[in-house]
Amino acid sequence: MAIYSVLLPTYNERDNLPFIIWLLVKTFEEEKIKFEVIIIDDGSPDGTLDVAKQLQTIYGEERIVLKPRKEKLGLGTAYMHGMKYARGQFVIIMDADLSHHPKFIPDMIKKQKEKDYDVVSGTRYRGHGGVYGWDLKRKVISRVANYITQVLLRPGVSDLTGSFRLYKKDALEALVETCVSKGYVFQMEMIIRAREYGYTIGEVPITFVDRFYGKSKLGGNEVIGFAKGLLHLFFTT
C-alpha cells in the first residue's frame, strides 16, 4: 500500500495545528490511506513545537513526525528539509493554517491515479474552486498576479500560485534540485519547472479559506520577491 507523506511547515500556528492534524488524521483514516505528517517548525516563538509534541504523543510517532529548525528560513527550504525524511512514495504539500482543507486530498489521490500524473495541483480558479474570507483588494491582487503569470509564463495550469499539491516523490526531489527560489515564488517555479521538464500535471478544484487564527505571513517583502521571481522565470525559462 502506498504511503502519503504530508509536509506541513509551521510558524506561529499553535492554535491552528491541533485542528489541521485532527482533520488530516480523520480524512486518511476514513479513506483507509496510509500516511505520515511531517511538521517542520521554524523556531516559532508562540510554542507551536510544544503543541506538535503533544499531538505526536496523541497520534503516535509513526503518524506525526517532527523535524523542526531553529529559525525561519523560507517556505521552499522548509519543504526541502521535510522531504529528506519523507517515507511516502507520494508527498503532499499544504498550509497549516486551515486555508487548505484535507477533504480535497482524496480527490487529488484519485486524480493522480487516473493518468498516473507526476503532479496534482489544487486550483482555486476552475470548476467549483474558489476563495473565501478575503476582502476585495486581496482577491483582486491574487487574480491579477495569476493573470500576469499566465500571460508571461503560459504554464498550462489555472492556478500557478497555489500551495496545495500532491507530487510523486521522485518528481518532487528532481524539481527541488532545479529550483532556485526559496520563498513564496518556490510554488510558482515548481510548476514552471515541471512543465519545462515534461512532468505531467493534473488539477483538482479546491476552496481556499482565509486563516482562522493568527496573521498572514504574506507581506510587502513577499510581494516584491514574487515580482522579482516572476521576471526571473520569464527570462530564464
pLDDT value for 237: 61
| Residue found by looking up cell 509551521 in the block | 10
Q: How far is CA 56 from CA 49, 59, 82, 103, in A?
A: 10, 5, 16, 21
**What's phi and psi for 167, nearest 5 deg?**
-125, 145
pLDDT value for 139: 66
Which amino acid does the sequence have at 109? Answer: I
What span, in angstroms and rounded, lies between the C-alpha atoms of 204 and 176? 22
**CB burial of residue 205 (10 Å; 0-12, 13-18, 19+):** middle
Domains and CATH numbers, the chain: 3-236 (3.90.550.10)
What span, in angstroms and rounded, lies between the C-alpha atoms of 160 and 151? 12
Torsion of CA 187, 143, 117, 101, to 10 degrees: 80
pLDDT value for 214: 53
pLDDT value for 154: 64
pLDDT value for 180: 75
**Could you tell me how many residues make up the chain?**
237
**Beta bridge mates, 34:** 3
Along the chain (237 residues), what's the average pLDDT of each consecutive run of 10 residues? 94 95 98 97 96 98 96 83 95 94 97 98 89 69 68 72 92 87 74 90 91 52 60 60
What span, in angstroms and rounded, lies between the C-alpha atoms of 40 and 33? 22
What span, in angstroms and rounded, lies between the C-alpha atoms of 109 and 232? 32
Q: For 87-115, b where at least 16 C-beta lie within 10 A, e where not — what string?
A: ebebbbbbbbbbbbbbebbeebbebbeee
pLDDT value for 229: 64
